[in-house]
Amino acid sequence: MLKTTVFSQIIRGEILADILYQDQYITAFRDVSPKAPIHILIVPNIQISTLNDVLKSDTYMLGRMVMTAISIAKNEGIAESGYRLIMNCNKDGGQEVYHIHLHLLGGRPLGAILDR
């Protein structure tokens, strides 16, 4: 049994969030601790703990996450200037919530991906 996550609670409407998009597969909402002027999280409505737990049957949902990110980037006015999509996996990858999610970041130059 998976431990319920804050994302699961947002999806079910138990926690308020600025939801930009929701359908039967995914939910997209603004991050409460943004790392860029535009920071949106796109999550599957089913809880998948890490990218390592993704199944072949999840392919459509993952594609839908990316296509939704592209659409939101256009709606937010950052598609032409550029944006970044990030998925973290496990502790060393920077994952904090164990419910996979795609970060859509933009609204300013984002610089290098890694601190070195």
> What tens-digit pLDDT sequence spans the chain (116 residues)?
567 899 999 999 999 999 999 999 999 999 999 999 999 999 999 999 999 999 999 999 999 999 999 999 999 999 999 999 999 999 999 999 999 999 999 999 998 875 54
- Cβ atoms within 10 Å of 65's Cβ, excluding its own: 22
Point out the residues that are catalytic: 101
Q: Which residues, including other chains, have CB under 8 Å from residue 42's CB and lie 6 or more apart? A: 21, 26, 27, 28, 65, 68, 69, 72, 101, 102, 104
- Alpha carbon 61 to its chain centroid, in Å, reads 12
- Structural domains in the chain? 6-106 (3.30.428.10)
Question: pTM of the entire structure?
Answer: 0.93
Q: Is 63 helix (H, G, I), strand (E, B) or coil?
A: helix
Please give the Cα distance from 105 to 116 (Å, whole number).
20
